[in-house]
Chain A
């Protein structure tokens, strides 16, 4: 059973618009949550990590929130650029060390059009 669900599955926005990606999970325990960006044909690159209840992070035009009570995270992208076209993957870690397991969502495919 999938323990990390992302929505929407895909999203098309116009350059300059804002967008919000959702991640719901059932992983227990939930030590941390990380968002990755995957360009087409490339590997995953970390955008941000959230650790604590009600954590909020910001990385340039990317910002993220985590609600551990609701087991829910959002990734906000402001003023989208064509280069933001990619798949965004939510990953939940059940421990803080490499001994823990990472649970990957299937990703949200974002397409930014001119």
Chain B
């Protein structure tokens, strides 16, 4: 069924609270990503995971951490959320040998508001 599922879709948290965003995929993709999308900016890569317990920082990892204990599941964790982490977060997945013909599959996004 080629799908990337994100939970929750919407979340409001107070500054300083912890946030857990979860992502699952049913395509056995090795590689998974977390991006954030802010108005007027292109998607920014937070973390990339090449497989279970093989995670690398993206361009804006500060304030975030990730966990990948199963190939089909990738979590984004915000310890002590800040107001500037208000954003829409997208999870994506692809095959590791992602030649130009293999695209990213995106989830529908998790909209986080930190007050």
Contacts and interface: CB of A to CB of B under 8 A. Distances in A.
A61 to B, nearest CB: 19
Contacts of A32: 100
A98 interface: yes
Most buried by B among A32, A34, A96, A97: A97
A97 B42 contact: no
B84 to A, nearest CB: 18
Name B's interface SS: loop
Count class of interface residues, chain A: 20 to 34
A46 B104 CA distance: 8
Nearest to B42: A104
A82 B41 CA distance: 25
A107 B96 CA distance: 26
Interface string A10-53: 00000000000000000000011010000001111110010100
A102 B30 CA distance: 17
Interface of B: 4, 30-31, 40-45, 48, 50, 90, 92, 94-101, 103-104, 106-109
